C-alpha cells in the first residue's frame, strides 16, 4: 500500500488508487469534470492538476497512480495557476448563458469557475456553436455548453450498455453525441443528466421548471419496482418537481431508472382527491363520514368469510398492517398481497433476493429464470452488467424464458420448464458452468412463479440451488426478483390468506359467484375487475385507475411522495421514506384511513400514531426491527415438487415504462413508450 | 471545416453496403492479423478498404455500420474513428482527389502558387469538386514530404517539387486520362539534394570519385 504526502499530510492508500483519491483521503478537495468514481478514467478535462515533486510539470491527479513516496501539493501557486489556465480554456467556448441554463445553481463548471475563473474573458474571437442533438423524450441537449468531459459517453458504454453516445470529429470540431440521429434507448438514460457537469444534458420534462435553491429536498424510497432505490424528492410548495437518486452502495449505487425518475408527473393526473360513493350506479362525491357510513351499512353484520382484501403493488407496509388487523377484527381470513396470483410466500428464503444486490459483485455465474431483469429491475441489471465487466467477461449468465437483451454477454438456454429440468439433470452445457462456479446464483422472476405450476417451478429452482452449491456457508445465491415494491413487505407481514382463507384468484372467483360480497382493494389495480361486478368494492388509493372505476366506495389515499412509509425491497431490506408534500385534497395517509374506518365500524384498531403502527409491524415480523439492513433468511425446505407445464416463462412486465397506476398516468412515460417500446415492436415485425 | 468532414446528405447515402468477394477475402486476412479478442483493431484498415471500394472514394454510413457488425462493436465506435481521421472521406470526392499541402515549409516554397494554379486550371475553389466529377481539391496540413516542398497528394501518389508549370502539366495529363509520373517533378531522385548527390558518391554508385565527396563535405 503506497504511502504519500499530500500538502504535508501523510496518507496511505490502497494499491491501484489514484493521486486524486489520495488527495481526497487527505481531505483535500480536487476540482474535476471528467473524473467520476463509477466510470473509467478519461483524464481529458485537466481540471484536477496537482503539483508533484520531481515532476517537470503539473500532473492530472485523476489519471496518475499513487506511488510510494510521492510528495503532492494541491494548493501551491503553480497548481492555482495551472487550474486557472485550464478553466480559462474551458470557458473559451462555453456560452455565458447561466441565467437561462437549467444547470444553474447545481453546475460544476459554475461552482469551479467561482474558484478558478477570471472575472473577465481575454478571448475576443468567435465562440463555436454546436448543433443540438435529439436524444429522445428524457434528455434535453444544448451541445454548445458541452466541455467534452465524455462522462455521458462512458456511462452509456459502460453502465447502460448502449453504445449511442460518442465523441465524433476532432479537435475544435469535436462533438459529443450520436453520429446519426438516435435516441438513447436505455432505461437508465436519466442518469446522464446527473452526470453531466455542465448544462449540456438537462432534463426535458423538468426544463425551466425551478431553481435548485427553491426546492425542499426529502429522502424517500422508490416504489416503481421492487429494488427500493434510494431517492430524493424535490418539491416546491405542494408540487413534486423531480426525483433524484441518493447514493446507496448496497442498492442503487447512484443510479435510478427512468421510471423512478420521471413517472412522478403521473401523480398530477387522475388523482383521487376526495371520497366517492356509488349512488344509483354513479360515483358521486361524498364526505369521509358518508363514505364510512356506506361501508358500515354493507359490512356490519356480514360474515367475515364474505369479506376479502387485496393489497396492490405500491402500498406501504403501515397500511397493509392496519388493513390486516382490521380484517382480523372483522373475522376475515381472505386477504392477499399477491395480486398477480403467484404462489410465493412460504419460508422467507423462498421469496427474497438472498444474495442481496451487492452480493452480485461476488457471484461468478448466474442463471436467470423467467425474468426480464432489464425491464423488471434495471438497477439490478446494471449491477449484473457491472459484474460482467469487472470480470472481463468471466461472469457467465444463462437465460431461461423470453429472449431479451441484457446488454452483456449471455447464453440463451431455452424458453421454459423443460430447460430448467435439463439444467437440474445436468444435461445442459450451462450446468457445467454452474458446477464449476464458486459462487453461482439463480434469479427467479415472477414470470416463472406467478403461474399455476409456480410451486413446482419453485421446487425445481430450489433443487438447482441445492445441486450446484448455490447455498453454502455465508453465501446464498437463491434469488427471487419481485416486480412490486410492496410484495416482500406484504409477505413478511403475513398479508396472505389465513386459516381457510382464499387467495387472490379464489377471491376473484368467489366474488364473481357472489360468495364474497365485500372486496377491499388497497391500491390494487391489476386484478380482473370484471369478476368484481357483483361484489361491493371498496377502493383505497391515490390513483383513479381500474380499481377506482370498479369501486362502490372510494377512499382517497396518499401517493408514496405524500406519506411516511416503510417498504421492503426484493432483498428483504426494510427502508423508510419520508413525506415530501401533503396529500392532495381530502386524501389522507393510508394507515390512518384504515384506522379511522375501524373506528367507524366499531372495531377500533389499537394505534393512534405511526410509531404505534410500526411497533405492531415489528411484532408481526422481525424484518421491521432493523431498518436498512437485509436480514438473512434461514434456508429451509420449500416449494412443492410436481409437474411443470411446458409453456415458456413470460415476464409480467410487457412495457417497462408503464407498470402501475402512477406510471400509466404519466405523460413522460407515455412519450417514452411511444419512442422506445413501439419502435421495438415495429422492429420485431420487420 | 470541409464538407468532406461531415456526413454526406441522405440523398447521397447508399442504402446498403457489403464488401465484394475479393475485398471480403482481404478483410478476413486483415482481421486475422490481430490477436484473439483484439479484432476491433482492424477497424481502420477495413474503413480504408470500404473507402476504396465505394464509388466516389468515401465511407458511407452504411459501410461503417457494416464494419461495426463485422467487428462486433457499437456503430458509434466506428463513427468516432471515421470522423476523427481526415483520410476517411465522409462524402463523395472526385476521381482525382487532390490534397495540396499548405503547411509552413510548403507555403514557404510556394504552395500558394500551386493552390492558385489548381483553382485556375480546374475552375474550382478549395474543398470543391469539378462539375464532371473528375477533380476535388482540398488544402491539407503537413503530409511529411517537406524536403520536397511544395507538394500535393493525388489519390495515393505524392507529386513533389511543384511549380505552377509542373502542376499544370500534371493536371493536364490527368484531364486526358493519363497518369503522370509520381514523385519529384524537378528531376531529382527522391529527396537527394538538388543537383545530384554530394556525399558518399562512391557507395551509391553515382560514378563520382571519392575525393569529390571529400571536396563537397562542407556543403552537405
CA distances from A280 to A77, A277, A283, A284, B196 (A): 82, 10, 8, 9, 112
Residue B7 near chain A (CB below 8 Å)? yes
Q: Mean pLDDT, to the nearest integer, of A472-489?
A: 95
Q: Mean pLDDT, to the nearest integer, of A580-609?
A: 96
| Residue B219 confidence (pLDDT) | 43
- A396-400 and A411-414 beta bridge pairing: parallel
Integer Cα distance of A326 and B132 in angstroms: 88
- Chain B segment 80-139 residues within 8 A of A by beta carbon are 80, 83-84
pTM for the predicted model, two decimal places: 0.92
CB–CB contact B76 A169 (8 Å):
no
**ipTM rounded to 2 decimals:** 0.86
| Model confidence at A682: pLDDT above 70 | no
Beta-carbon contacts of A111 under 8 Å, excluding residues fewer than 6 positions away, are none
Adjacent-strand bridge partners of A294: none
| Residue A20 confidence (pLDDT) | 96
The count of CB pairs under 8 A between chains A and B is 38
Q: Where in A14-87 does DSSP place strands (E)?
A: 49-52, 59-60, 71-73
Q: What is the pLDDT of residues A533-545, one digit of tens each?
A: 999 999 999 999 9
CB–CB contact B76 A170 (8 Å):
no
Residue B75 near chain A (CB below 8 Å)? yes
CB–CB contact A170 B83 (8 Å):
yes
Q: What is the pLDDT of residues A192-247, one digit of tens each?
A: 999 999 999 999 999 999 999 999 999 999 999 999 999 999 999 889 999 999 99
Integer Cα distance of A134 and A208 in angstroms: 18
Q: Which residue has the cell 481529458?
A: A44
| Residue A368 confidence (pLDDT) | 97
Residue B106 known to bind ligand = yes
% of chain A exceeding 70 in pLDDT: 99
Rg (CA), chain B: 21
Q: Mean pLDDT, to the nearest integer, of A426-440?
A: 94
Q: DSSP for A105-172? A: TS-HHHHHHHHH--SS----SPPP--------SSEEE-GGG-----HHHHHIIIII--TT-EEES-GG
Q: Quick one: closest CA in B to A182, which residue?
A: B76
Q: Mean pLDDT, to the nearest integer, of A327-333?
A: 95
Q: Where residue A336 falls among pLDDT bands split at 50, 70, 90?
A: very high
CB–CB contact A163 B77 (8 Å):
yes
**Lookup: cell for A300:** 356490519
Q: Where residue A681 falls among pLDDT bands split at 50, 70, 90?
A: low
| Model confidence at A648: pLDDT above 60 | yes
User: Kind and range of the H or E element at A241?
Assistant: strand A239-245
Q: What is the pLDDT of residues B143-152, one digit of tens each?
A: 999 999 999 9
CB–CB contact A163 B75 (8 Å):
yes
Q: What is the pLDDT of residues B162-216, one digit of tens each?
A: 999 999 999 999 999 999 999 999 988 888 888 878 888 887 766 544 454 444 4
Residue B13 near chain A (CB below 8 Å)? no
Mean pLDDT, chain B, whole residue set: 90
CB–CB contact A168 B80 (8 Å):
yes
Residue A173 near chain B (CB below 8 Å)? yes
Residue A442: closest CA among A406, A399, A477: A477
| Residue A684 confidence (pLDDT) | 47
| Residue A518 confidence (pLDDT) | 96
3-class secondary-structure state, position A417:
helix
Q: Where residue A351 falls among pLDDT bands split at 50, 70, 90?
A: very high
Q: Mean pLDDT, to the nearest integer, of A309-316?
A: 96
**Lookup: cell for B47:** 474503413
Q: Mean pLDDT, to the nearest integer, of A116-129?
A: 90
CA distance A160 to chain B (A): 13
| Residue A393 confidence (pLDDT) | 83
| Residue B192 confidence (pLDDT) | 87
CB–CB contact B7 A173 (8 Å):
no
Q: Mean pLDDT, to the nearest integer, of B130-136?
A: 94
| Residue B217 confidence (pLDDT) | 44
Integer Cα distance of A4 and A344 in angstroms: 54
**Total length of chain B:** 220
| Residue A424 confidence (pLDDT) | 94
Residue B191 known to bind ligand = no
Mean pLDDT, chain A, whole residue set: 94
Q: What are phi and psi of A266, to 5 degrees?
A: -65, -20
Q: Which of A164, A165, A169 sits opposite B83 (nearest CB)?
A: A169
| Residue A120 confidence (pLDDT) | 87
| Model confidence at B87: pLDDT above 80 | yes
- Chain B segment 132-151 residues within 8 A of A by beta carbon are none
| Model confidence at A476: pLDDT above 50 | yes
Q: Mean pLDDT, to the nearest integer, of A577-582?
A: 96
CB–CB contact A166 B61 (8 Å):
no
Q: Where residue A491 falls among pLDDT bands split at 50, 70, 90?
A: very high
Q: Where in chain B does DSSP place strands (E)?
A: 96-101, 128-129, 135-140, 152-154, 157-160, 183-184
| Model confidence at A295: pLDDT above 90 | yes
Q: Where residue A679 falls among pLDDT bands split at 50, 70, 90?
A: low
Amino acid at each position: 500500500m503506497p504511502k504519500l504526502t499530500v500538502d504535508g499530510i501523510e496518507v496511505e492508500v490502497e494499491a491501484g488508487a489514484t493521486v486524486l483519491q489520495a488527495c481526497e483521503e487527505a481531505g483535500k478537495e480536487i476540482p474535476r469534470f471528467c473524473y467520476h468514481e463509477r466510470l473509467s478514467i478519461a483524464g481529458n478535462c485537466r481540471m484536477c492538476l496537482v503539483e508533484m515533486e520531481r515532476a517537470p510539470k503539473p500532473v492530472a491527479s485523476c489519471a496518475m497512480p499513487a506511488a510510494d513516496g510521492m510528495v503532492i501539493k494541491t494548493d501551491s501557486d503553480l497548481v492555482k495557476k495551472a487550474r486557472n489556465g485550464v478553466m480559462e480554456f474551458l470557458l473559451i467556448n462555453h456560452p455565458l448563458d447561466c441565467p437561462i441554463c437549467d444547470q444553474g445553481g447545481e453546475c460544476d463548471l459554475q461552482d469551479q469557475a467561482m474558484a478558478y475563473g477570471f472575472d473577465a474573458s481575454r478571448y475576443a474571437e468567435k465562440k463555436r456553436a454546436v448543433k443540438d442533438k435529439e436524444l429522445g423524450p428524457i434528455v434535453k441537449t444544448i451541445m454548445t455548453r458541452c466541455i467534452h468531459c465524455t462522462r455521458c459517453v462512458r456511462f452509456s458504454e459502460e453502465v447502460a450498455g448502449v453504445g449511442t453516445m460518442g465523441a465524433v470529429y476532432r479537435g475544435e470540431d469535436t462533438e459529443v453525441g450520436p453520429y446519426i440521429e438516435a435516441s438513447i434507448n436505455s432505461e437508465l438514460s436519466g442518469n446522464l443528466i446527473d452526470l453531466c457537469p455542465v448544462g449540456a444534458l438537462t432534463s426535458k420534462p423538468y426544463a425551466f421548471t425551478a431553481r435548485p435553491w427553491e426546492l425542499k429536498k426529502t429522502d424517500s424510497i422508490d416504489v416503481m419496482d421492487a429494488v427500493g432505490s434510494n431517492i430524493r424528492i424535490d418539491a416546491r410548495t405542494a408540487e413534486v418537481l423531480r426525483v433524484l437518486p441518493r447514493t446507496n452502495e448496497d442498492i442503487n449505487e447512484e443510479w435510478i431508472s427512468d421510471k423512478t425518475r420521471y413517472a412522478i408527473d403521473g401523480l398530477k393526473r387522475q388523482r383521487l382527491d376526495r371520497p366517492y360513493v356509488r349512488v344509483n350506479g354513479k360515483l358521486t362525491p361524498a364526505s369521509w363520514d358518508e363514505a364510512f357510513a356506506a361501508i358500515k351499512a354493507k359490512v356490519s353484520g356480514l360474515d367475515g368469510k364474505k369479506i376479502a382484501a387485496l393489497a396492490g403493488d405500491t402500498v406501504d407496509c403501515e397500511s397493509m398492517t392496519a388493513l390486516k388487523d382490521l380484517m382480523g377484527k372483522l373475522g376475515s381470513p381472505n386477504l392477499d398481497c399477491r395480486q398477480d396470483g403467484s404462489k410465493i410466500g412460504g419460508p422467507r428464503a423462498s421469496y427474497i433476493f438472498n444474495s442481496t444486490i451487492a452480493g452480485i459483485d461476488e457471484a461468478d455465474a448466474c442463471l436467470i429464470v423467467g425474468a426480464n431483469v432489464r425491464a423488471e429491475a434495471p438497477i439490478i441489471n446494471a449491477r449484473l452488467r457491472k459484474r460482467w465487466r469487472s470480470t472481463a467477461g468471466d461472469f457467465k449468465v444463462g437465460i431461461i424464458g423470453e429472449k431479451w437483451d441484457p446488454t452483456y454477454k449471455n447464453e440463451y438456454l431455452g424458453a421454459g420448464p423443460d430447460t430448467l429440468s435439463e439444467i437440474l439433470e445436468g444435461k445442459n452445457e450451462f450446468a457445467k458452468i454452474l458446477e464449476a462456479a464458486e459462487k453461482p446464483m439463480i434469479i427467479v422472476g415472477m414470470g416463472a412463479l406467478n403461474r399455476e405450476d409456480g410451486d413446482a417451478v419453485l421446487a425445481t429452482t430450489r433443487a438447482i440451488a441445492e445441486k450446484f452449491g448455490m447455498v453454502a456457508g455465508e453465501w446464498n445465491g437463491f434469488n427471487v426478483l419481485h416486480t412490486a415494491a410492496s410484495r416482500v413487505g406484504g409477505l413478511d407481514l403475513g398479508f396472505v390468506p389465513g386459516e381457510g382463507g382464499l387467495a387472490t384468484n379464489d377471491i376473484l372467483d368467489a366474488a364473481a359467484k357472489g360468495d364474497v360480497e365485500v372486496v377491499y382493494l388497497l391500491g390494487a389495480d391489476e386484478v380482473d375487475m370484471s369478476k368484481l361486478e357483483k361484489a361491493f368494492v371498496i377502493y383505497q388509493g391515490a390513483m383513479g385507475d381500474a380499481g377506482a372505476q370498479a369501486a362502490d366506495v372510494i377512499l382517497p389515499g396518499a401517493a408514496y411522495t405524500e406519506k411516511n412509509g416503510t417498504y421492503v425491497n426484493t432483498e428483504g431490506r426494510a427502508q423508510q421514506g419520508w413525506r415530501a408534500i401533503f396529500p392532495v385534497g381530502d386524501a389522507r395517509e393510508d394507515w390512518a384511513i384504515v384506522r379511522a374506518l375501524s373506528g367507524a365500524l366499531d372495531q377500533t384498531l389499537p394505534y393512534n400514531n405511526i410509531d404505534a403502527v410500526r411497533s405492531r409491524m415489528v411484532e408481526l415480523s422481525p424484518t421491521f426491527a432493523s431498518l436498512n439492513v437485509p436480514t438473512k433468511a434461514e434456508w429451509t425446505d420449500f416449494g412443492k415438487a410436481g409437474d411443470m407445464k411446458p409453456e415458456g416463462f413470460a415476464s409480467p412486465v410487457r412495457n417497462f415504462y408503464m407498470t402501475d397506476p402512477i406510471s400509466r398516468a404519466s405523460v413522460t412515460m407515455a412519450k417514452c413508450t411511444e419512442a422506445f417500446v413501439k419502435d421495438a415492436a415495429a422492429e420485431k415485425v420487420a | 471545416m470541409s464538407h468532406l468532414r461531415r456526413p454526406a446528405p441522405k440523398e447521397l447515402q447508399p442504402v446498403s453496403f457489403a464488401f465484394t468477394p475479393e475485398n471480403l477475402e482481404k478483410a478476413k486476412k486483415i482481421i486475422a492479423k490481430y490477436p484473439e479478442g483484439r479484432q476491433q483493431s482492424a477497424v481502420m484498415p477495413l474503413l480504408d478498404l470500404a473507402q476504396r471500394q465505394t464509388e466516389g472514394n468515401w465511407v458511407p454510413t452504411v459501410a461503417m455500420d457494416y464494419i461495426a457488425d463485422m467487428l462486433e462493436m457499437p456503430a458509434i465506435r466506428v463513427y468516432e474513428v471515421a470522423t476523427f481521421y481526415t483520410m476517411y472521406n465522409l462524402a463523395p470526392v472526385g476521381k482525382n482527389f487532390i490534397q495540396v499541402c499548405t503547411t509552413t515549409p510548403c507555403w514557404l516554397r510556394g504552395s500558394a502558387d500551386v493552390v492558385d494554379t489548381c483553382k485556375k486550371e480546374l475552375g474550382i475553389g478549395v474543398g470543391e469538386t469539378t462539375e464532371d466529377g473528375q477533380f476535388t481539391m482540398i488544402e491539407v496540413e503537413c503530409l511529411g514530404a517537406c524536403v520536397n516542398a511544395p507538394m500535393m497528394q493525388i489519390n495515393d501518389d505524392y507529386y513533389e517539387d511543384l511549380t505552377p508549370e509542373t502542376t499544370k502539366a500534371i493536371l493536364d495529363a490527368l484531364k486526358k486520362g493519363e497518369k503522370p509520373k509520381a514523385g519529384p517533378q524537378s528531376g531529382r531522385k527522391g529527396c537527394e539534394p538538388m543537383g545530384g548527390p554530394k556525399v558518399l558518391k562512391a557507395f551509391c554508385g553515382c560514378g563520382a570519385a571519392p575525393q569529390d565527396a571529400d571536396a563537397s563535405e562542407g556543403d552537405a
